[in-house]
């Protein structure tokens, strides 16, 4: 461990001692049992002991090691087994299944911790000169296999952790821009900004365990992107270390300087270099922040309401609607209220739904967020209330929204909790034009259920709309498969393949904000056309002819639905 650099546990999300708990949630166990057939109170398998792992020996040569130590110092060149294993994978369910069973694949040979851009450049040039492989680590939260080396890689693999580059360097208050080092984690960045009255407003689910550089490298999006934009909108300039040179893009509001180099770097996943800092849009902390909860008779009514909110130009901070099963999950995942007032309120909501003759098995819950001055928030809430009513819904106040705001970063811990109990749980997200949004949800849900029936597994899939745009929306699917067998990874592949193929078959993209890595790369030709893949290959090969920069990510030659690290490959 390096002082001041956070590190997740080797076998799951977050630090040791941090975990999801179903305690005080009496509806959660029945919900899981109903949907998957699993009793969450049954004994679970213990997490393996690290000492039982067979960690491959580092093949870092003495010459390269000596060079790296000369650049960084002995302390910041680490080859111990646990540090190397932590930096082998991201936190996708395939990563977690493999690391728990000791299938480590090609472990990095060394993890380095540069302190500044000059050291990053020194590391880059030394590794390329030695014909090694450089893989930027970010916060290690990636779930699309963008961190793992290509199987069978025989060259020395160097994982670069920028956790020491964690400062907000300057704020241009007149322009609303901040220059920030790429290795900073979300909470540390916001603490530094907010101490001076500013916020970037970017809050992905992985916020606690992801970095600014990782967000840029994967084209991340946050819960509040309806107001603040995706990271592609937020990032105005950057610096990136490349072999033998440093790319500098000044923070300009817009340019007409040929094909956008900024856009080439966004989403490049380490294939072009290592991002060391960025200029980003920042905003004054709003006077009022409020998240209101609403109910709709079904998911599609809520989806149409979100579309109208965007097209009417209301300007909300977030607009989220969950489908029927996800709504049931949200309700089951809440702690039991002991307040008489809350119980009466819940009974009143149910009575109102029954009076409206709603099918209670189809109701959809929505969270819509507002920020601004008190008058601005009041006005926007009024506009949204009218739209919600037009689509058959009604509001239930800010109480559920406040609870959502408090618990919004807890979701990733569920993956470990489910895996402990023999449930393979993961997510896939996409975006499509409004015209196709309803059909995409129906057909993707059907594709998953058909796939489960075909392999004889119990599974469940649910969805929410998470980000809205003028022309369409992101729909975020969560899927769970009951499979604790030795072939669980195959069941995962079948489920993931069905969902991803449905995306590209129904006018949607392979990923909205998780990136490509290896998990999504087999669908790239269907997503951006073979000519698009040709352009990407030429770009990567031109910048990195020796294949030293995180090779195998974004484009590779696997079959659709099978990454090169899949058991089917």
- Please identify every residue annotated as catalytic: 476
Separation between Cα atoms, residue 428 and residue 446, nearest integer Å:
15
| Residues 6+ away with beta carbon under 8 Å from 541 | none
Pick the closest to residue 417 from 20, 12, 16 (CA basis). 20
Residue 87 DSSP SS3: coil
Confirm if 547 and 472 have CB atoms less than 8 A apart: no
What's the DSSP call for residue 283? E
DSSP-assigned states of every residue in 289-347: EEEEEEEESSHHHHHHHHHHHHHTT---SEEEEE-HHHHHHHHHTSPPP--HHHHHHHH
Confirm if 35 and 103 have CB atoms less than 8 A apart: no
What's the DSSP call for residue 558? P
Q: What are phi and psi of 465, to 5 degrees?
A: -85, 130
Could you identify the residue written with the tokens 């049931």?
328
Q: Please work out, in degrees rounded to the nearest 5, the angle formed at the alpha carbon of residue 194 by the alpha carbons of 188 and 200.
A: 80
What's the DSSP call for residue 559? P
Tell me the residue ranges of DSSP E strands in 116-242: 133-136, 157-160, 168-172, 177-181, 198-199, 235-242
Count Cβ neighbours within 10 Å for each residue of 11-50 and write b for 16 or more, e otherwise. Answer: bbbbeeeeebebeeeebbeebbeebbebebeeeeeeeeee
Q: Count other Cβ atoms within 10 Å, centred on residue 54.
A: 8
Tell me the residue ranges of DSSP E strands in 408-471: 423-433, 459-468
Q: Please work out, in degrees rounded to the nearest 5, the angle formed at the alpha carbon of residue 223 by the alpha carbons of 197 and 31.
A: 135
Q: Which residues pair with 111 in a beta bridge?
A: 78, 159
């Amino acid at each position: 461990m390096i002082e001041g650099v956070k590190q997740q546990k080797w076998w799951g999300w977050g630090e040791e001692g941090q975990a999801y708990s179903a305690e005080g949630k009496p509806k959660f166990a029945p919900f899981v049992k109903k949907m998957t057939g699993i009793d969450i109170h049954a004994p679970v398998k213990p997490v393996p002991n690290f000492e039982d792992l067979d960690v491959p020996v580092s093949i870092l040569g003495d010459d390269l090691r000596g060079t790296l130590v000369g650049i960084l110092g002995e302390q910041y060149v680490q080859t111990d087994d646990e540090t190397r294993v932590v930096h082998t994978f991201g936190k996708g369910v395939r990563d977690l299944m493999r690391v728990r069973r000791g299938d480590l694949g090609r472990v990095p040979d060394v993890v380095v911790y540069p302190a500044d851009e000059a050291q990053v450049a020194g590391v880059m040039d030394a590794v390329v000169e030695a014909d090694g492989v450089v893989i930027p680590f970010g916060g290690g939260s990636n779930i699309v296999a963008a961190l793992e080396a290509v199987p069978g890689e025989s060259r020395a693999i160097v994982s670069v952790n920028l956790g020491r580059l964690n400062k907000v360097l300057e704020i241009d208050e007149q322009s609303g821009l901040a220059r920030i080092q790429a290795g900073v984690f979300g909470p540390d960045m916001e603490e530094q900004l907010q101490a001076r009255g500013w916020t970037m407003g970017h809050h992905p689910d992985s916020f606690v365990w992801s970095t600014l550089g990782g967000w840029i490298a994967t084209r991340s999006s946050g819960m509040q992107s309806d107001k603040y934009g995706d990271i592609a909108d937020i990032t105005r300039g950057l610096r990136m270390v490349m072999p033998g040179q440093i790319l500098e893009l000044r923070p300009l509001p817009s340019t007409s300087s040929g094909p956008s180099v900024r856009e080439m770097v966004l989403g490049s996943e380490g294939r072009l270099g290592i991002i060391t800092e960025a200029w980003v849009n920042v905003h004054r902390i709003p006077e009022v922040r409020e998240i209101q909860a609403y109910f709709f008779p079904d998911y599609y009514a809520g989806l149409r309401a979100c579309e109208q909110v965007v097209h009417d130009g209301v300007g909300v901070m977030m607009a989220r609607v969950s489908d029927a099963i996800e709504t049931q999950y949200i309700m089951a995942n809440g702690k039991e209220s002991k307040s008489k007032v809350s119980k009466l309120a819940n009974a009143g909501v149910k009575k109102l739904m029954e009076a409206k003759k709603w099918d209670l098995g189809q109701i959809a819950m929505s969270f819509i967020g507002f920020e601004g001055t008190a008058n601005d928030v009041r006005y926007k809430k009024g506009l949204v209330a009218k739209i919600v009513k037009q689509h058959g819904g009604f509001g239930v106040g800010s109480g559920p929204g406040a609870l959502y705001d408090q618990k919004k970063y807890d979701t990733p811990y569920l993956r470990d909790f489910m895996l402990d109990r023999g449930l393979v749980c993961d997510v896939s997200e996409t975006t499509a034009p409004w015209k196709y949004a309803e059909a995409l949800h129906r057909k993707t849900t059907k594709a998953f259920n058909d796939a489960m029936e075909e392999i004889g597994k119990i599974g469940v899939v649910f969805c929410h709309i998470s980000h809205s745009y003028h022309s369409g929306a992101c729909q975020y699917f969560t899927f769970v498969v009951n499979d604790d067998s030795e072939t669980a990874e195959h069941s995962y592949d079948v489920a993931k393949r069905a969902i991803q193929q449905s995306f590209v078959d129904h006018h949607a993209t392979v990923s909205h904000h998780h990136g490509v890595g290896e998990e999504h790369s087999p669908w790239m030709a269907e997503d951006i056309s073979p000519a698009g893949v040709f352009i990407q290959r030429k770009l990567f090969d031109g910048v990195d002819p020796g294949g030293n920069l995180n090779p195998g990510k974004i484009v590779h030659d696997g079959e659709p639905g099978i990454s090169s690290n899949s058991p089917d490959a």
